[in-house]
Amino acid sequence: MNHTIPARSAVKPADAWNLSALYPSAEAWEKGLSALSGLQPGVEALKSRLASSPADFLAVLSAYADYSRLDERLAYYADLRQTEDEGNSESRGRYARYVGVASAGQAAWAWLTPAIQALPQAFLEASLSDPAFADYAVFLKKLLRFKPHILSEKEEKLLALQAETNRVAQETFGILTNVDLDFGRVRTSEGLMPLSQSTYSSFMHNRDREVRRKAYMKFYGEFDAHKTTLASLYAGSVKLDKYQAQVRGYGSAREQALFPDDVPAAVYDNLVGTINDNLPVLHEYYDLRARALGLDELRHYDVYVPLVDQKESRHSYEEAVDIVSASLAPLGEEYVSTLRAGLLGGWVDRYENKGKRSGAFSAGSFSGEPYILLNYKDDVVKDIFTMAHEGGHSMHSWHSVRSNPFMCYSYTIFEAEVASTFNEQLVFKHLYDHAASDEERASLLANRVDDTLATLFRQTMFAEYEAVTHAMAEAGEALTVDSLRAAYRKLLEKYFGPRMRLEAVSDLEGLRIPHFYNAFYVYKYSTGVSASIALSERVLHGGAAERDAYFAFLKSGGSRFPIEALKVAGVDMSSPEPVRLACARFAEDVRTLRKLLKL
């Protein structure tokens, strides 16, 4: 078999996404960028029209929507082209030029939000009651919620100009961990293999425990050598969150992060509290893992190696599409046929090529198609789940675009992870129901247990850590390498339980997680999978009403706040019940896996 990774120029058109729905050519994109830049000098003149009459107010909103839609279209094309081959200087230059123009546009429009906030209440109420404003009603209502936290025009402009500077800690962390740190090599049965951020997970899946141990200690040894710098970078990010919350008049950084989605702090606290109540079942799983691996003592480098050897099987890309299509049949013909046509007909960039971004994502914009980046491999069963996952995002975007005006079509991350993991639930059921043996069922179930652990329990641990570190900063406590490590070790001990023996360097994990530089969003993975489990059960065991309720959620886009949108679907995330249900399903999976493994 040929394992050569092709250059981007060698990728067949049928295996690449078709971006012509965004722009038919690079030249057309250049014209669009010139048009965006050409609109900016006229933005200032719109300020005087904002409050002159409802008709002029509507004209200003329309101009802003047109500008924003063009800006989004340019951004998606430039970003997607760059992800095809991140070493392509033409693509990198294109994206850099977009960022320059877009930043100027952001500064040019900085007056709009505070100016709308300053409009007389009677004027705003009259506008919102006018049917002509229907396409902007949700946008305005959401915007007006921020009125207590919006500053003067001059102050808003200053904050906008800080945007690039505010990314320094995050970008420096990325450069340090992805470029400057040298993790060396680890000897395996195949020889000396390079250890890096991207290969680390492969080492943790290695069946040879000594290989795992050496890779783990070498990996964290490099972080240990830079721990003070890493702690300083993370402390800087937390302090920035604290500063921004204080400047805008929020009670805390967490309150500021939850405010845009109108998520009560109780949702966050319910998640952490419910997961903490169910840690005994997680400890039961780690006990099962130790027994399955034949270990008296579980180490941190033992928690990722697969419990069940996966039987070798291959599924071509087209066969994977067939499996996903069959799995999603409970969602009806339109959903399946639309997604299938997209997966086979230009939505997806299918395979790895040199320079292509790793992993997978779905990029759904108002213009163009909901594009999907994959690095599909025909011998990796998880890639079928990834296809379904990203397809869930894409179909969420597809429905949102067709059901909402531009200014309120975009849904939140809180909702996004529901539609994607919902599809994974259905793929699992299909494969499990059609498994040929207990061995195959055990392999599928072991994977689901590990995935649920990673999404439900691990992300909640991360969320708890973020709450602890920000509370420390807001109470005036110093965030040092020692205090951060102590806080993280306490959580590791609580979540892993008595079967785990941690290494001295294990708590350095808290200094290497990139998600922490975008605080208070990882909890959404946990709430998302909880909601998807509850909703998939409703759809699979319900009828047309339950399926229609789920589609009402997909179509709501950004027209509702996420808690309300999910209530439409039939799940109440303001209650701890969905998280309890997810934990109960995890416990049932662990018990079934124990039986299948005869442990």
304-340 pLDDT tens trace: 999 988 777 899 999 999 999 999 999 999 999 999 9
Q: Which pLDDT belongs to residue 364?
A: 94
Q: Which pLDDT belongs to residue 245?
A: 97
Q: Which one is predicted more confidently, 150 or 520?
A: 520
Q: Which pLDDT belongs to residue 1?
A: 37
49 inside domain: yes
Question: HSE (CB half, 13 Å, CA atoms) of 146?
Answer: 21
28 inside domain: yes
**pLDDT tens per residue, range 350-368:** 999 998 888 899 999 999 9
Portion of the chain with pLDDT greater than 70, in percent:
99
Confidence of residue 3 (pLDDT cuts 50, 70, 90): low
Residue 158: give its domain's CATH number. 1.20.140.70
571 inside domain: no
Does residue 514 surpass a pLDDT of 70? yes
Which residues have C-beta within 8 Å of that of residue 572, sequence separation ≥ 6?
A: 563, 566, 578
User: Does pTM surpass 0.85?
Assistant: yes
Provide mean pLDDT across the span 570-591: 96
Q: Which pLDDT belongs to residue 330?
A: 96
Residue 66: give the domain boundaries.
12-163
98 inside domain: yes
303 inside domain: no
Task: Tell me which of 221-235, 303-317, 557-571 is least confident.
Answer: 303-317
Secondary structure of residue 24 in the 3-state scheme: coil
208 inside domain: no
Number of domains in the chain: 1
**pLDDT tens per residue, range 446-487:** 999 999 999 999 999 999 999 999 999 999 999 999 999 999
Q: Which pLDDT belongs to residue 2?
A: 45
Between CA 582 and CA 176 the distance in angstroms is: 37
Q: Which pLDDT belongs to residue 179?
A: 83
Sign of the CA dihedral with 133 first, then 139, 144, and 147 last: negative
Question: HSE (CB half, 13 Å, CA atoms) of 304?
Answer: 14
Token pair of 191 as six digits: 């020889």
**pLDDT tens per residue, range 68-110:** 999 999 999 999 999 999 889 999 999 999 999 999 999 999 8
Between CA 516 and CA 558 the distance in angstroms is: 25
Nearest C-alpha neighbor of 114 from the set 148, 70, 80: 148
575 inside domain: no
Provide mean pLDDT across the span 481-510: 97
CA angle 44, 49, 52 (to 5 degrees): 155
Of residues 222, 369, 390, 440, which has the active-site annotation? 390
Does residue 392 surpass a pLDDT of 80? yes
Q: Which pLDDT belongs to residue 491?
A: 98
Does residue 345 surpass a pLDDT of 60? yes
Q: Which pLDDT belongs to residue 159?
A: 87
552 inside domain: no
Portion of the chain with pLDDT greater than 90, in percent:
88
Q: Which pLDDT belongs to residue 214?
A: 97
390 is catalytic: yes
- As a whole number, the mean pLDDT across the chain is 94
CA 406 to mean position of chain CA atoms: 22
